[in-house]
Amino acid sequence: MSTEKKKMQRSAKRIKARNNAIVYIVLSILAVIWLFPVLWVILTSFRAEKGSYVSTFFPKSFTLDNYIKLFTDTSILNFPQMFLNTLLIAICSCVLSSFFLLSASYCLSRLRFKLRKPYMNMAMILGLFPGFMSMVAVYFILKAVGLTEGNNVRIALILCYSGGAALGFQITKGFFDTIPMALDEAALLDGCTRWQIFTKITLPLSKPIVIYTILTSFIGPWVDFIFAKVICRANADQYTVAIGLWRMLEKEYIDNWYTSFAAGAVLISIPIAILFLKLQKYYVNGMAGAVKG
């Protein structure tokens, strides 16, 4: 009897081990497939052979020249300038649009006013249209205000990226809704203003969603291509990284710039990667749900 039992246990263990092995093998294969392109870009960025086409997956020799070229060879494609432009635009629009978004969500969640429902419906419907549909109109409006020339292009882009932020309130509002009203009421009784409730009670309780908002509103302008292309036009000194990288792949540049293009791609992923790593635990919480009262 006991030997029988032991046998059963052993075979159960074996089955479990076998299943685990299969699962791990499948997952490893998938992980490799997913990481393949990333690895390839990183390898290419260190590749010493020139040109856009290679016959081997692993470079024959490695170098840092591609990175050095990005920052020293600035006469045709001024990467450092583009990087700074993008950073400035992304930080400004991140701050602005986070503020817009959080404020709008707070108002819709906590205040009751006549246009609340109509506003939410309108935002829902407007949100169904892709943003670049209005691109040409946005361009002409900015031009009329005089923001499409010289350094004003940066302001134009910041306005573009942050202007529509208040329409994407749905997730944040849902989060705020789960914070008990009783907290607000208690604060009101103690003499808090609405602004104080917002900054001293709601925001500290909603760290995950605040982080989530900051992340998404930073990444938007950081990787955007279409608006930047339409608004920058011939102002090369205002180019963002996305336009610069795209230009490196044009037929005149591709042979000389391809490996530097990969280096640029690696570099622009660094700020996003740092943001993600630092804020990851909040990010997961933010998506999972709200604080329980």
Partner 1 sequence: MRKKLSAALALLLAGATMMGLLTGCSSQESSGAEQVRLMVWSPSEDQSKDSGEWLQTCCERFAELHPEWDITFVYGVADEASAAGTVSQDPDASADVFMFANDTLTTLTDAGALAKFGGKYADQILATNSETLTDSLTLDDYLYGVPFTTNTWFMYYDKSVFSEEDVKSLDTMLEKGVVSFPFTNSWYLPAFYFGNGCTLFGDGTQEELGADFGGENAVEVTNYLIDLYNNPNFVVDADGSGIAGLRDGSINAMFTGSWDAASIKEILGDNMGVAALPTYTLNGEEKQMYAYAGSKAIGVNSHSKYMVQAIELAIYLGSAEAQQLHYELRNVIPCNTELLADPAIASDLVVAAQNDTFDNTSVLQPFVASMSNCWTPVENLGKGIRSGTVTHENAAEQTVAMNDAMNSNGIS
Residues that bind partner 1 (CB under 8 A): 49-55, 75-77, 88, 91-92, 95-96, 136, 139-140, 143, 148-152, 154-155, 158, 199, 230, 233-236, 250-252, 254-256, 258
Smallest distance, partner 1 to C-beta of residue 152, A: 4
Three-state secondary structure call for residue 179: coil
Structure tokens belonging to residue 69: 């070229």
Task: CB nearer to partner 1: give 158 or 268.
Answer: 158
CA angle 32, 38, 43 (to 5 degrees): 105
Smallest distance, partner 1 to C-beta of residue 221, A: 13
Q: Do 33 and 248 meet the contact criterion of CB atoms below 8 Å apart? A: no
Q: Compute CA 239 distance to the chain's CA centroid, rounded to the nearest angstrom.
A: 19
How far is residue 253's CA from residue 248's CA, in Å, rounded to a whole number?
A: 5
Task: CB nearer to partner 1: give 170 or 199.
Answer: 199
What end-to-end distance do the CA atoms of the chain give, in Å? Answer: 54
Q: Which of 108, 75, 104, 107 is closest to 165 using CA atoms?
A: 104
Q: Which of 166, 125, 160, 155 is closest to 139 using CA atoms?
A: 160
Task: CB nearer to partner 1: give 95 or 123.
Answer: 95
Smallest distance, partner 1 to C-beta of residue 248, A: 12
Residue whose tokens read 């990851």: 280
Smallest distance, partner 1 to C-beta of residue 76, A: 5
Task: CB nearer to partner 1: give 49 or 177.
Answer: 49
Task: CB nearer to partner 1: give 24 or 62.
Answer: 62
Structure tokens belonging to residue 114: 């006549």
Task: CB nearer to partner 1: give 41 or 54.
Answer: 54
Smallest distance, partner 1 to C-beta of residue 77, A: 7
Give all strands (DSSP E) within 108-150, no chain letters: none
Smallest distance, partner 1 to C-beta of residue 153, A: 9
